[in-house]
Amino acid sequence: MPQAWKPGRGKLGPMAPMIGRWRAQADSAMGPVTCERSFARILGEKYVQLDAVWKFGGGKGAAGGYREHAIFGADTDGVLTFWSFTSDGKRSQGRIATAADVHARALCFEAQMDAGLARQIYWPDETDGVHWAVEARNKSGWRRFTEHHYRAE
């Protein structure tokens, strides 16, 4: 059955298709990885919270894994923004952007990182679930270095 991908109303409207729990399994440089992402409305529905857990090598629990905690909401200018904190001590902040080159209905956030401009993109799978990718900007465009296919839990 095709994934419903309908943005909601208001500043957090673009986040509506992502609300819920998602799971992906993929190969990585560190071996097989399972990633679980949970998006939930919080604080009177003024923000969306993301909790992500990456488990490498078929590991269970937090051991051998990586965690991200992010908050999405309007910044002081009213622009949909994210603030991300990860278990390796890094943090990032970015704003909503467009990624029509990936998919007409893509949900994209760009952030200025130490190594340059990066973006994360979510877009609907036409039959089942959601795609997610991370790309870095280079002289010839965007270079993708991670992609997962998530299914709803």
Residues paired with 48 in a beta bridge: 41, 72
Residue-wise pLDDT for 85-134, tens only, equals 999 999 999 999 999 999 999 999 999 998 899 999 999 998 889 999 99
Q: What is the pLDDT of residue 2?
A: 46
Residues 6+ apart with CB under 8 A from 121: 99, 102, 103, 106, 107, 108, 131, 132, 133, 134, 135
Do the domain assignments include residue 4?
no
Given a cut of 70, whether residue 68 has pLDDT beyond it is: yes
0.85 cut: is pTM over it? yes
Number of domains in the chain: 1
| pLDDT confidence bin for 3, thresholds 50/70/90 | low
Surface-to-core class of residue 111, CB atoms within 10 Å of its CB (0-12 exposed, 13-18 middle, 19+ buried): middle
Residue-wise pLDDT for 28-67, tens only, equals 877 888 999 999 999 999 999 999 999 987 555 545 589 9
Structure tokens at 149: 């296919």
Look up the CATH number of the domain holding residue 40: 2.40.128.20
Between strands 65-74 and 80-86, the pairing is antiparallel
Structure tokens at 61: 């629990």
Q: What is the pLDDT of residue 63?
A: 54
Do the domain assignments include residue 111?
yes
What range defines the domain where residue 51 resides?
Answer: 13-152
